[in-house]
Structure 1
Amino acid sequence: MIYTITLNPAIDLVIVTKKLEPKVVNRTESFELQPNGKGVNVSFILKKLGIKSVATGIGGGFTLDYVTNGLAAKGIKTKFLKVNGLTRVNVFTNVIDQNTEYKEVNPGPEISKEVQQQFLAYFEETLTEEDLVVISGSFAQGIEPSYLVQIARIVAAKKAKLVIDSSYLAVVDTLPYHPFLLKPNETELASFYHYKGEMTSAKTVELAQKLVQAGCQNVLVSLGARGAALINEKEVLFANAPKIKVVNSACAGDTMLGTFLAFIEKGQSISEALKVAVAAGSDTASRTGLTDFKLDKLLPQITVKEGMK
């Protein structure tokens, strides 16, 4: 079974408006409410591709109910611990005449140490060596980045696979537990090694290979409008991104990760998984919701090649 962990779930309010002016009533073109959180999105993508998962995490209030109800409506099992306080609502506003997007992201509820231990206990009781755990995104208030290491330790002890998509520097501290895959973007990859120079292709490969040498099995690097790269002990693969008009970039990385994992789960090659993952992530970025996987116009634009030169 695949378990996705979202420790700061959200409802995303996605707004499209022709203009955005101060101190006046701005009438919008459209809006959409979406159950969200990075792990939540991975579960949605896995479901679209016929892969079962259990969406887990910690949240609170009627806003968490909206998230869990949205997952259940798609036939996805959930196991969220509920606390006092509200799961957050984030706002993403696409302003047409500015050709830009505004992102307003709120903090989540305060999570006690007791609840954190209850969540870890759930995984200690549940995981088997056949399972894969995906932990994605930021944490709610009260949860320290070192919580990543506690989860990694449990997953390793159970001989399960671990996937991490997080910007916390504590990601590096999980490497002794040999995560199956890390999914940083270029900025996150640089921060892991406190590198402040230009992220050239050569530097991206160098830093990703350092993660591999330190224990990570695969590194999937999101390169934004340039595409993505997959680096492991045996190969360096690069897939260019197709040309799109960006509408909402909030869930593109989650789509890419979920698609990549689904294709690997189905036994497809890493090269094919990377190609479809980039196409799906790009398609999500071009719309207000997640991709519908009608990728016929995007896939021919993408080439997977060895190396990043």
Structure 2
Amino acid sequence: MKHILTLTLSPTIDKSTSVEKIIAEHKLNCDEPKFEPGGGGINVSRALKRLGLTSTAVFTSGGLSGKLLQELLHKEQIEQHPIETFNLTRENFIVVNRATNEQLRFGMPAPALVEGEEETILKAVKQMAAKASYIVASGSIPKGVSTDFLAKVARIAHQEDARLVIDTSGEALEQAIEEGIYLLKPNQNELRKLTGIEAEDNDAIEEAARIIVNKDKCGIVVVSMGPQGAYVVTKDYAEFVSAPSVKKRSTVGAGDSMVAGMVYGCVNNYDLGHMVRMGIACGSAATMNHGTELFKKEDVDRLYEWLNKQTTNYLV
């Protein structure tokens, strides 16, 4: 079996804790913090590991925080290919207010890439793509990255006969779609920006997604609808799948977990309906855990089984 590459341009160390109650201007006594590796593609690699698939995480790594990120991934036995950068790897901060069970997420801006670093990343991707069946580019695009970066990644994927999966936004995404990708996972807001359609109901979501797939530039569009579920659309298939009702503790990494579940389904030759259900099961299971823990495999298995017992809501 060929390998899976994940690509993260904006990795992070997620520092999470909790307090009894948040009161402005007061000194708050926090629980012992937990440090976990994070960022789009890195979380996809972590989730794939939980599903029993190996992948190589390609990511930027700067300074002492970058070294800590590498150490955290090593502890989770994630295969990694860090690319040294001038600027420090960022840290995000998550605090749970136990009095209300509310979660406060403080996301720091992604450090910019400096001259020459983008070329180094592309060279690494090209070298490793020959052994890859899937390339998953996920997460935000930092400053200093050219708008055609993902389009270049798409060309590399085409040259090496690898399937490109993208979960990001902005002009870089638009150019990548024009180059051609295998699977795209936008949320409703991102879908609106891509098509100009207010995707607020199922009919509008399908219409907007078909605009993308009918250009013959994207094989599969899976629109994430948060706790409502997801809509999967191809040229000759469309289905809305409701998400299961779960006790939500944290949404950190839920979207990345969904991507990992869908990649798992693709690698194992699931049909479209089962592929998106696996993605929803992983994303929903991730919300059941505190902080940035992602999901437990037993929760995924249970939710996936439940989803497969449900009646199809919409099928063309």
TM (norm. structure 2) is: 0.90
Q: Gapped runs of 5+ residues in structure 2? A: none
Amino acid at match of 2:257: T
CA RMSD of aligned residues (A): 2.1
Q: Gapped runs of 5+ residues in structure 1? A: none
- Larger mean CA deviation between 221-230 and 242-251 belongs to 242-251
Deviation by residue 1:123-149 (Cα, 9 ceiling, x = unmatched)? 223322752111001123312343222
Q: Is the 8 A contact 1:186 1:222 kept in 2?
A: yes
The corresponding residue for 1:40 is 42
The corresponding residue for 2:256 is 254
Aligned with 1:293 (options 297, 301, 307): 297
Aligned pair count reads 308
Q: Is the 8 A contact 1:111 1:143 kept in 2?
A: yes
Distance 1:170 1:115, change over 3 A: closer
Q: Is the 8 A contact 1:238 1:304 kept in 2?
A: no
The corresponding residue for 2:266 is 264
The corresponding residue for 2:139 is 137
Aligned with 1:18 (options 1, 4, 20): 20
Alignment of 1:169-188 (within 5 A): 169-188=171-190
Amino acid at match of 1:307: Y
Alignment of 1:1-309 (within 5 A): 1-29=3-31, 31-128=33-130, 130-195=132-197, 197=198, 199-214=200-215, 215-288=217-290, 289-295=293-299, 297-299=302-304, 301-302=306-307, 303=310, 305=312, 307=314
Between the aligned partners of 1:191 and 1:223, the Cα distance in structure 2 is 15
Between the aligned partners of 1:47 and 1:300, the Cα distance in structure 2 is 20
Amino acid at match of 2:173: V
Between the aligned partners of 2:105 and 2:132, the Cα distance in structure 1 is 38
Amino acid at match of 1:203: A
Question: What's the CA shift for 1:82?
Answer: 0.8
Between the aligned partners of 2:108 and 2:145, the Cα distance in structure 1 is 15
Identity over aligned residues, as a percent?
26
Deviation by residue 1:245-286 (Cα, 9 ceiling, x = unmatched)? 322112001001101111221223322222232122111112
Amino acid at match of 1:191: K
Distance 1:16 1:246, change over 3 A: farther
Distance 1:100 1:254, change over 3 A: same
Between the aligned partners of 2:91 and 2:182, the Cα distance in structure 1 is 31
